[in-house]
């Protein structure tokens, strides 16, 4: 750790030990052409990504005692593009599942979508309007396990139908693991998602809402994805979609969940909005 005062979003020594092997291996595989190790420690780069995720600040408003945009965005983009962000995330997910006496990969996932307003300046060709929810922006799509941990994340224009989201999520899940046998979805997903699941060996069940129930009523097992969406709202960079690239929106989910899982693995409670 540097000599600066810590921020609540900083990784503790114990949390950094969970992530450091992946980051150090990446750094060793990507040496500078001049042999220079870089001005900023990798831990500080990760801390800066987590700080921005948690506070939602613009790149230009990063505190002066953290690495600047020029350095941080370089690594954010590189790890986004080569999948290192997901590698770190998945490693923690496997560890957390095993710490809960479960197999590393799940047999059941829950799919859901959430339409998020896009910030001014986000390219129009990557946004749209959710016809049913009347939300202009992006659609954040998640596949989570029964612990609420993200198995796959997809970002789409809000105008994309839930069928497109469901198919993309199922493809992502199947590409990562062959253990998933069942997926639960709500009534926004249609038969095409069920049929696509069959081609991947995944039984997709559309959980019907009881028409007699009024207001929000948690549905068995499906409620867990709603809880995950709520947890992501602690990360202000995810409350509104500020990213120019859909891939960056996806990466933000992985970094938020990396923070969540690192805290759970080390027994540290997530600070509330008022507490951080």
pLDDT for 271: 63
Residue 250 within any structural domain of the chain: no
Using one digit for the tens of pLDDT, what is the confidence trace for 34-77? Answer: 666 678 999 999 999 999 999 999 999 999 999 999 999 999 99
Residue 203 lies in a domain: yes
Quickly state the pLDDT bin for 93 (edges 50, 70, 90): very high
Q: Is residue 8 part of a domain?
A: no
Is 50 exceeded by the pLDDT of residue 276?
no
Residues 54 and 85: beta-carbon distance below 8 Å: no
Lowest mean per-residue pLDDT among 93-102, 143-152, 202-211: 202-211
For residue 213, is it within any domain? yes
Nearest to 79 by CA among 9, 139, 30, 151: 30
What percentage of the chain reaches a pLDDT higher than 70? 91
Q: What mean pLDDT value characterizes the chain?
A: 92
Residue 275 pLDDT > 90, yes or no? no
Per-position DSSP letters for 53-84, written without gaps between them: HHH---GGGS-TTS--HHHHHHHHHHHHHHTH
Give the total number of structural domains in the chain: 1
User: 10 Å Cβ neighbour count for 217?
Assistant: 10
Q: Tell me whether residue 85 is in a domain.
A: no
Indicate if the pLDDT at residue 86 is higher than 90: yes
* Per-residue pLDDT tens over the stretch 157-194: 999 999 999 999 999 999 999 999 999 999 889 999 99
Rounded Cα–Cα distance for residues 160 and 125 (Å) = 12
Number of residues that this document lists for the chain: 276
Instruction: Look at residue 123 and tell me if it is in a domain.
Output: yes
Cα–Cα distance for residue pair 205/215, rounded to 1 Å: 22
Would you say 110 and 207 are in contact if contact means Cβ atoms under 8 Å apart?
Answer: no
In terms of residue numbers, what domain contains 205?
Answer: 103-241
- Say if 24 falls within a structural domain: no
The two structure tokens encoding residue 236? 């202000």
Q: Is residue 268 part of a domain?
A: no
- What is the Cα–Cα distance from 74 to 69, expressed in whole angstroms? 8
Instruction: Name residues whose C-beta falls within 8 Å of residue 6's C-beta, 6 or more positions apart in sequence.
Output: none
- Measured distance CA(196)–CA(238) in Å, rounded: 29
Q: Is residue 247's pLDDT more than 90?
A: yes
CATH of the domain at 172: 3.30.420.10
Residue with token string 């995810």: 238
Q: How confident is the model at residue 218 (pLDDT cuts 50, 70, 90)?
A: low
At 230 the pLDDT is 94
Q: What is the reported pTM?
A: 0.92
Strand partners, 115: 139
């Amino acid at each position: 750790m540097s000599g600066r005062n810590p921020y609540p979003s900083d990784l503790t020594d114990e949390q950094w030990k969970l992530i450091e092997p992946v980051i150090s291996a990446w750094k060793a595989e990507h040496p500078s052409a001049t042999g220079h190790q870089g001005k900023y420690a990798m831990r500080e780069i990760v801390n800066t990504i987590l700080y921005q995720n948690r506070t939602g600040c613009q790149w230009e408003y990063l505190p002066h005692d953290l690495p600047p945009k020029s350095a941080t965005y370089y690594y954010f983009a590189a790890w986004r593009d080569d999948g290192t962000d997901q590698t770190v995330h998945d490693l923690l997910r496997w560890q957390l599942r095993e710490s809960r006496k479960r197999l590393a990969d799940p047999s059941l996932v829950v799919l859901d979508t959430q339409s998020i307003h896009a910030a001014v300046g986000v390219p129009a060709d990557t946004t749209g309007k959710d016809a049913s929810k009347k939300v202009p922006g992006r659609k954040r799509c998640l596949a989570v396990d029964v612990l609420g941990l993200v198995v796959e994340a997809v970002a789409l224009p809000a105008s994309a139908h839930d069928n497109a989201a469901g198919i993309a999520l199922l493809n992502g899940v199947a590409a990562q693991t062959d253990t998933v046998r069942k997926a639960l979805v709500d009534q926004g997903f249609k038969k095409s998602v069920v049929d696509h699941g069959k081609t991947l060996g995944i039984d997709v069940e559309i959980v019907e809402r009881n028409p007699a129930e009024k207001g929000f009523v948690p549905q068995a097992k499906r409620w867990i994805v709603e809880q995950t969406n709520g947890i992501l709202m602690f990360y202000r960079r995810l409350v509104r979609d500020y990213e120019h690239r859909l891939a960056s929106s996806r990466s933000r989910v992985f970094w938020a969940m990396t923070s969540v899982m690192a805290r759970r693995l080390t027994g540290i409670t997530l600070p509330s909005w008022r507490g951080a």
